[in-house]
Chains A and B, each alone.
Chain A
Amino acid sequence: MSGTTIKKIKLTVLFLSLSGLLSFSAYFNVDKNRTPVAHKKHKYLRATHKISIPLKVHITSDTKNATPGEPFTLTGHVNTHKQLKNVHISWALPKGVELLKGSLDYFVNEVSKNNPHSSELVLVSTVEKNLRIHFRAKGRGHYSATAQYNTTLQTQINREIANIKASHKKYVNGHL
């Protein structure tokens, strides 16, 4: 076996051991607990949560970062599995964001599982700094949900959140 071949093998082993580290370790962590009479290992982190509501909202955008002076579109999405009547839709715009098109505050007759609602705004930012825009839906009188969009930092925020989730998952799987 030539020196070059050995080096290639070493490199391959190194790459595999790094790139497959998480999945391989997770696999072996599970597998080592398997014995003929063992419980299935129910690997989850037990946690209690506060009451959730049957109404979900989120915002999508046609741009990663809003450039001052350039119009961008935000769409607020409302989903529910209940049949909600007279749903109140509202947007909260900070100073530095101007509305070009769309309604900031209105009511929708009904939102349901098969009839979700979308609310579209065309906006323009007039400043360089990050601004937070909020979208809210209020259903059946006394519960409501809010989503947030950041004009210049949303991409970074999404990446940071993904990193925290991945970190937590890796940590928990390594300690359960």
Chain B
Amino acid sequence: MVKFKIIWTFVLLFSSMGLVSCDSPSVNPVSSCASRVSVVYSGPATESYCSSTTTYTTPVIITGLAQYKARTFDSSTTGPTKGLLAPSASRPIRFAEVMVKNSSGTVVQCAETDAAGNYSLQMPNDGGSYTLSVNSRADNSNYKAYILKCPEENTHYSLSTTFTSDATKALPTIVAAADGDILGGAFNLLDQVLTANDYLRAQVTTCGFGDCTNFTVAPQVQIFWEKGFDPSVYGAAAGSFFVPSSNNRLFIIGGSNGDTDNSDTDHFDNSVILHEYAHFLEHQFSVSDSPGGAHSLSGPLDPRLAWSEGFANFFPAAVQGIDSYVDTQGNISGSTDDYIRLNLEKHTGSYAVDFVADIPANTNEGNFRELSVARLLYDAIDTNNDSETITNGFPEIWSSMTASTGLKNTNAAFRSIGLLHDAQTNFGGSTDWATIRTTEKHINDRSEYSNHIVPNVGTCTGANPSTGLFTLTPSTTSNEDEVSYIQCAYSVFPNSECFFLDPTAPSWGYDSHLVLNNDFYHYKHSGGTLNLTLNYDTQSGTEANLNLFVYSGSARFGVTSDIENDTSSGEGISAPDGSIGTQETEPFSKSLPSGDYLINVKVNNQAANIGGPTNYELLIGGVRACPAPL
């Protein structure tokens, strides 16, 4: 009886967990991978890369050509855009792995295609039957990339043909198609990695500024893609994304539940492929503090995210030599359209007409907007002199990202484009970016975000010179109309959540504007109790309500659970007495490990009248804090 109960308990338990299904068909409509576990799953080892060339006595020579087809986006400038067009003419599969196996499945020869997609290899003149495969992998001095189906299987794609090894011969050209099995998608992904590496070699083989990193070839990247599969089903905010941990994996959307003709796909959207590859490069050659998450051009962002995404939006345009970011869905064989199309050259206009979005409205706001970052970087490299004459600026961008005075500064934290501006400005012989910074409302330092402070070093540079105080002028401006998108923009998976960029906001629409109503300081804490005091005083009009928040370096800005304050007891968020001319105080005290902390002074903008200009000082351990070099 007890055994029966145990068995029945198991049945009930597993049924409730969805693990037992009596009517499950054998074919999974979501993915053909046997079991999808996780984007960071450690699956079986990949098949060894075929790199050993075998020499045969009295050989025959087998030659051939490997190509792939892709779809290109409609670049017509008149009429409605149409998304992805018909498959292109064949393109060479460049510098990819070539593997020959005998009828027993043993590898008997290895080679790589050349720049034109040609291969040539020795085989024994034995009359045997062999299978030649051009694989979706490359591991050579040109590029290193594996295009794989899923982490749970780690299998690559192959374009194969069979032949009899009985004479020197040229095999028929093999072509990976852009429809049907869409093998062309896998090889297009592979080719984009090569294109990016070629661009970097052309630009920064010698980067030229400071102790920047010269580029030769990027480390191996793994890109997971399956026809008809949408990786967002893992719980991600979008179907194409990059996961820095676990071998720096890219996931690219291949459709939805088997469909590729009407759904979002990115295997031919080179802007998206190169966007995510740019994140990979950023993590390999620079340092990123971006918390990641979704982003939808809907207002000022956490500058760490704005910088990382801005660079990733810019990079595809630079590599492709186009001034646009184009993401399509479907294709002309079904129904197709642009998912989004963005112009990176124009600084004004509307989205509907000009594809322009995310335009900064306030001074220094460009540092907080991802497309503003992208446009500024694009202006630094393009040859279109629209009120600026800066060209060929990529080496300065790359140098700022890879030099120890830039984003690789080991003393830095909360890295944003302010740090890049700082480095670029101070490189000897660098170009003057003043015009493009003005156009996009950028400030060329970190004074708006993660301004490094230390206790009392004499005159407080950056504060009012006569009083040594900082000033915030409260604004009723919120972070724009789409506040819930901004807040959800920081959703991360698997613990997706939407939250307030302003943790004191009672509902959407009360976001305290990140530039106008917030100051951000970087403090390097040596460990132990961190005692902070925010003293503030509104001189005239209605008294403002300033709050004080503390975040660690790994925290997500705005996430209540990530804030170091004990907000449940009101720490950092107490209300003022309403009387002007009297000093208000927000104390913070907590034992914290050594490390980098973000101190956020925020105007609480929920009141009908949010107050006038307010002076404040920050005390660290009772001593006034002032900006200081890193």
Give A contacts to B, CB under 8 Å: 7, 11, 14-15, 18-19, 36-40, 42-54, 81-83, 90, 92, 113, 130, 132, 134, 136, 138, 140-146, 148, 150, 153, 156-157, 159-169, 171-173, 175
| Set of chain B residues within 8 Å of A44, measured between Cβ atoms | 492-493, 495, 556
Distance of A7 from chain B, by nearest CB (Å): 5
Q: Which residue of A lies closest to B242 (CB)?
A: A48
Knowing A42-B556, A50-B241, A161-B233, say if A146 contacts B562 (CB, 8 Å): no
- Interface-lining segment among B45-53, B157-165, B426-434, B478-486: B478-486
Does B335 lie within 8 Å of A134, measured CB to CB?
yes
CB proximity of B503 to chain A, nearest CB, Å: 14
Q: Is A130 touching B340 in the complex (CB atoms < 8 A)?
A: no
The smallest C-beta distance from B480 to any residue of chain A, in angstroms, reads 9
Q: Which 7 A-B pairs have the closest CB atoms?
A: A171-B38, A169-B494, A141-B352, A81-B482, A52-B296, A49-B238, A134-B262
B276 touches A146 (CB 8 A): no
> Given contacts A48-B242, A49-B295, could you give 11 more A-B pairs where the C-beta distance is less than 8 Å?
A11-B9, A47-B493, A50-B240, A51-B297, A54-B298, A113-B481, A142-B340, A144-B329, A148-B263, A150-B257, A171-B38
Checking A52, A138, A163, A167 against B294 with a beta-carbon cut-off of 8 angstroms, the contacting residue is A52
A7 to B564, CA, bound (A): 47
Interface size class of B (residues with CB under 8 A): 35 or more
Chain B CB count within 10 A is highest, among A14, A49, A92, A159, for A49
Residues facing A in B243-283 (CB within 8 A) are 243-245, 256-259, 262-264, 266, 272, 275-276, 279
Please give, as numbers and ranges, the residues of chain B lying within 8 Å of A48 by CB-CB distance: 241-242, 244, 276, 279, 290, 292-293, 308-309, 312
Within 8 A of A (CB), among B293-334: 293-298, 308-309, 312-313, 325, 327, 329-330, 334
CB-based nearest B residue for A159: B18
**Cβ of B40: which chain A residues have Cβ within 8 Å of it?**
45, 171-172, 175
- Measured CB to CB, the nearest residue on chain B to A4 is B2
Cross-chain contact A51 with B36 (CB below 8 angstroms): no
Complex contacts, B592 vs chain A, CB 8 Å: 37, 39
CA distance A90 to B262 in the complex (A): 12
A85 to B, closest residue via Cβ: B352
A47, B351: Cα distance in complex, Å: 27
**Cα A163 to Cα B591 with chains together (Å):** 41
**Contacts A/B (CB < 8 Å), 5 sampled:** A14-B9, A50-B240, A51-B342, A134-B263, A171-B37
Known: A132-B262, A142-B341, A171-B40. A161 touches B30 (CB 8 A): yes
Interface of chain B residues 15 through 38 with chain A (CB within 8 A): 18, 21, 24-25, 28-31, 36-38
The answer to whether B245 and A46 touch across the interface, beta carbons within 8 angstroms, is: yes
Tell me how far the C-beta of A3 lies from the nearest C-beta in chain B, rounded to whole angstroms: 10
Partner of A92 from the list B24, B39, B262, B342 (CB cut-off 8 Å) is B262
Q: B276 is contacted by which of A50, A160, A173 (Cβ under 8 Å)?
A: A50
CB distance from A18 to the nearest CB of B (A): 6
Separation of A52 and B292 alpha carbons in the complex (Å): 13
Bound-state Cα–Cα, A46 to B337, Å: 30
Measured CB to CB, the closest approach of chain B to A84, in angstroms, equals 9
Q: Would you call B210 an interface residue if the criterion is a C-beta within 8 Å of the partner chain's C-beta atoms?
A: no
Are A51's CB and B296's CB within 8 A? yes
Distance (whole angstroms) from the CB of A133 to the closest CB of chain B: 9
Counting CB contacts under 8 A, is B554 at the interface? Answer: yes
Q: Do the beta carbons of A168 and B37 come within 8 Å of each other?
A: yes
Indicate if the CB atoms of B81 and A142 lie closer than 8 Å. yes
Nearest CB in chain A: distance from B517 CB, A: 21
Contact B292 A47 (CB under 8 A): yes
Residues in A neighbouring B555, C-beta threshold 8 A: 40, 42
Q: Indicate whether B541 reaches chain A with its CB closer than 8 angstroms.
A: no
Contact for A141 among B6, B353, B484, B485, CB less than 8 A: B353
Decide yes or no: A37 and B591 within 8 Å by CB, A14-B6, A51-B340, A81-B485 being known contacts.
yes
Smallest CB separation, B285 vs chain A (Å): 15
Q: Is the CB of B593 within 8 A of A11?
A: no
A146-B241 in contact (CB<8A): no
Q: In the complex, what's the smallest C-beta–C-beta distance from A74 to chain B, in angstroms?
A: 15
Residues of A within 8 A of B335 (CB): 90, 92, 134, 136
Cβ of B291 and Cβ of A164 under 8 Å apart?
no
